[in-house]
Structure 1
Amino acid sequence: MSKPVLSAHFESRKPSDVRLAQMKYDERKVRPQEVINVGIGNVSLPTNPAMQKRMFNLDAPDSPFNKGVVKYTGTAGTPEAQEAVKNILRSGGFNTDNLYVQITEGGSAGMELLILGVCGPAGSSEKPLMMIDPAYTNYISFAERLGRKTVTVKRHMGDDGKFNLPSLEEIEESIKKNNPGALLIIPYDNPTGQLYDYEMLIGLAELCVKYNIWFVSDEAYRELYYIEKDKLISIWGVTDAEVPGIEGRRISIETTSKVWNACGLRIGAVVTDNPEFHNRSVAEYTANLCANAIGQYVFGALAHESKESLLAWCKQQRDYYKDVIVNVYNGFKALEPNLVVSSPDAAIYSVIDVRKVVKPGFDSIDFVLYCASEGSAIIDGVETTLLVAPMKGFYDEKDPAKNPGTTQFRISFVETPEKMAKVPELFIKLLRQYEESR
């Protein structure tokens, strides 16, 4: 009897690099005593106290859920959740008077709406999404899902761990060659931990105006930076005063996942200063009906927090991550100086490149699968393994021989400080084991 046939798209799909290690580990029959998972940015810290209060008191007299009824919200989200996004932006010093907010099912749904809203027709090469490589793998995956094209301008990781942004001239040449619909940046970068500066944002904005394309910023990590800056870096800090014509073409992707420690809440937003983009995006999203109603209510608590409270929370987050990231960075460099480790300037990630310590033929995915399926090492007397993300899927590069991610991994600083302190020794022990087995 013949079997039903999967679509060509499903036949071609493989797990996202950020989920690959966990999925393989779930299949493991004999498991070590401990597993440290830094393969995905699944933040393990408690969420903001104002959000916790609502989360733990859904039956309170003033809760819309106190009678057990959970109805749809408006497609664009509740006014309170929309106001929470604006309140966060205002606390950073940005004017929200002419901004439109659409609440989505996590930042991921916002990414899909963005691609649909700025790129050419499905299956064509028209108006691709332009990114700076390496880029967050989900944008590449969603573009493939939707049949839209992506193009990248590449940056490279030096032996000092610094990712060098491409020059404005390189980016302009790529714009002229590819005619993109939008330029996407992640100023507090995932996966590299790189931090953009305002001079770069202004230069990029000028190119977007010059070539009449959308200027898009993923701002999931906006408040997480670890080097001194005069002001918060954001697309919303680049206005017509600095770049005439930029207003009306700006879009940001927002999320509760990282700064607000609420990955599983699955609440994000698409923010824009273009009313037509907003209206069309909401129209597209009506098929989804709305984002999580309870999640919107929990997040909506931030609409009522003071600027001082929000800023204090963000500083607390920065202080916590800075200590953890610096300790792990120093641990890697002390134990294996030939590892190339990205500079910990922003976000909650570092890239580890093993190109100087492994034999030819090394493949990052094979090493990740080894750690998840059979590898382990004794750390503090405990048999332990490590789950990390291979970087191959973060590069929009079809030729495996040219993919820098073949020797690179992304580390997420999401486990406890005590567990994170074990990561350098554990990674190096597992790497040496794996190399001996090849």
Structure 2
Amino acid sequence: MLAQRTNLFGSSGTAAARAAAKAAADAGKEIIDLTAGEIWSDLAPTIREGAIEAINRGVNRYTDTVGMMELREALARKVSLDTGQIWKAEEIAVTSGAKQALFNAAMVLLNPGDEVIIPAPYWTTFPAQVLIAGGTPVFVDTRSNGYVPRFEDIKAAVTDRTRAIVINTPSNPTGAVYDVQTLIGIAELAINRDLWIVFDECYGDFVHGDHTHHLIVSVVPEVRARTLIVNAFSKSLALTGWRIGYLAGPKEVINAVRALQSHTTSNPNVIAQHAVLAHLQRGDGSYESKLRSQLASARQIGLHVLSSLTRVPVPKAHGGFYFYLDLSDLMRPTSVGGASPTADDVVNSLLSEAGIGAVSGTAFGDPAGLRLSYGIPPEKLETGLVRLVEVLNVWE
């Protein structure tokens, strides 16, 4: 018999979508996969050089549980620059990707029964990890407000059992970018009600148009004492497989994370640590600029194709590298008294009829949503979206 906690969660919905697309491709079908939350790109030269140098030096030993001191110092300098505040290495924990940083945060902050407010649609891992830690996710619907939560709705969700609020900006899956006033309201609420804020900014390097990514601790410095910043290099350096992320927060939280991580994974991969350190020391920003340019071009291509949608609104895609479609107008019963279709049905049709892999919004708590990644090569993106538009415009 399995532990009861395994009944609280299933496999990641995004991982399941990737697996379905891969299975179709393995079966010989031509698939254009728009499911993956990653950017198709070569490695940054500094990352490659840092890793090779470490291997050539015979680096193969444990590091400090929460990362090499040199790396944590470099990350503290980065966070200091990003926030306009002084951060120290003792306020940084290096983790095996952002997922471990979030897991660590949930495990050291939550007691059984604690409530965590999560704006929806949400990244599927947020509520799963709250449940694993014994907490209760409380969802705040954002669909009627451009996928940015209304402060009044966040405030109304707070109870005596509320322990934390999750902020993910730019948002995965929706691409929504939180405005300053929303962040101010949430920060002041956290201060007044003695709440923690888990601030996931993994897509912070990718904002588009006239939008700006704001860190909540910069907008309201007083909230820093109750904020954990979660970030990773998976997106900003296209290093999804290398599994390097970090958590920045109060020293006492990082000390608890150190103890927890010492009993789970211990230190993150040492070669990946050296690679990221080399980039932080030698990188001149040109690689990041190349990625941003690549995504900006892909976004324009995608928005141009999606402008031909007749029954689905063209997405805003203000941040990150996803197009998030609202399929509400398609989700009507096919006959009188018939069942309403869901985004799962659309995903299945796209895969079988058009060879397009997409992620259903049901993975994100939204049965009428559809997530499409535009991190793939532009020629594949354009071809895939043209096929998708053809299917959705005649969907019945």
Q: Contact 1:105 / 1:267 at 8 angstroms: preserved in 2?
A: yes
- Shift, 1:6, TM fit: 3.4
1:103 aligns with 2:76: no
After superposition, where does 1:75-154 map in structure 2 within 5 Å? 75-92=65-82, 94-98=84-88, 100-121=91-112, 125=113, 127-154=114-141
Match of 2:261 in 1: 285
- State the shift of 1:80 in Å: 2.6
Q: 1:337 aligns with which of 280, 301, 310?
A: 310
Tell me what 1:192 maps to: 174
Secondary structure in 2 matching 1:254: strand
Q: Which residue of 1 aligns with 2:230?
A: 253
Amino acid corresponding to residue 173 of structure 2 in structure 1: P
Question: Aligned partners of 1:12 and 1:214: how far apart in 2?
Answer: 23
Corresponding pairs, count: 388
Could you say which residue in structure 2 is the equivalent of 1:170?
153
Gaps of 5+ in 1: 378-384, 396-404
Change (3 A) 1:353 1:179: same
- CA RMSD for the aligned pairs? 2.4
Query: Residues 274-353 of structure 1: matches in 2 within 5 Å?
Result: 274-287=250-263, 288-305=265-282, 309-310=284-285, 312-334=286-308, 336-353=309-326
In 2, the alpha carbon distance for the partners of 1:208 and 1:67 equals 47
Q: Give the number of the structure whose residues are more often helix, by fraction.
A: 2
Q: Please state whether the residue corresponding to 1:130 is helix, strand or coil.
A: strand
CA gap 1:370/1:7 in 2 versus in 1, 3 angstroms: farther
1:14 corresponds to: 10
State the shift of 1:205 in Å: 0.8
CA deviations over 1:268-301 (Å, ceiling 9, x no partner):
11111x1111111111111121111111111111
Corresponding residue number in structure 1 for 2:198: 216
- Amino acid aligned to 1:406: P
With normalisation by structure 1, the TM-score equals 0.81
What amino acid is aligned across from residue 296 of structure 1 in structure 2? Q
Matches within 5 A, 1:38-49: 38-49=34-45
Is 1:72 the counterpart of 2:62? The answer is yes
Query: Which whole-Å CA distance do the structure 1 matches of 2:118 and 2:18 have between them?
Result: 27
Mark the CA change 1:67 to 1:323 in structure 2 (over 3 Å): closer, same or farther.
closer
Gap runs ≥5 in structure 2: 334-339
Q: Given the two structures, how large is their TM-score scaled by the length of structure 2?
A: 0.89
Deviation larger for 179-188 or 14-23:
14-23
Matches of 1:316 and 1:248 in 2, distance apart?
A: 35
Q: 1:423 to 1:280 in 2, by over 3 A?
A: same
Shift of 1:135: 1.3
Taking a change above 3 Å as real, the CA distance of residues 96 and 424 of structure 1, as seen in their structure-2 partners, is: same
1:261-276 correspondence runs (5 A) = 261-272=238-249, 274-276=250-252
User: Matched residues in 1 for 2:87 and 2:99: separation?
Assistant: 25
Q: What CA deviation, in whole Å up to 9, does each residue of 1:229-253 have, x standing for no partner?
A: 5x6511341343xxxx423112111
Identity %: 20
Q: CA deviation at 1:16?
A: 1.6
Cα shift at 1:73: 1.2
Q: Which residue of 2 aligns with 1:362?
A: 341
Change (3 A) 1:31 1:358: farther
Task: Give 2:359's aligned amino acid.
Answer: A
Flag the 1:32–1:408 CA change in 2: closer, same or farther, 3 A: farther
Distance 1:266 1:10 in 2: 24
Residue type matched to 1:363 in 2? T
**Distance (whole Å) between structure 2 residues aligned to residue 86 and residue 327 of structure 1:** 37
Contact 1:104 1:270 in 2 (8 A): yes
Structure 2 counterpart of 1:80, which letter? E
Q: Which amino acid aligns with 2:117?
A: M
Counterpart residue number, 2:336: none
Larger displacement relative to structure 2 (10-19 or 103-112): 10-19
Corresponding residue of 2:382: 421
- What SS does structure 1 have at the residue aligned with 2:182? helix
**Secondary structure of the corresponding residue to residue 228 of structure 1:** coil
CA distance change for structure 1 residues 53 and 29 in 2, over 3 Å: closer, same or farther?
closer
- Change beyond 3 A, Cα 1:313–1:431: same
Contact 1:80 1:303 in 2 (8 A): no
1:393 aligns with 2:372: no
Deviations 1:326-363 (A, max 9, x none): 221221122x2221232121111121122223542212
**How many angstroms does 1:266 deviate by?**
0.3
Tell me the alpha carbon deviations over residues 122-158 of structure 1, each in whole angstroms, 9 at most, x when there is no partner: xxx2x22211111111111222333321112211157
**Structure 2 counterpart of 1:390, one-letter code:** S
Counterpart secondary structure, 2:246:
strand
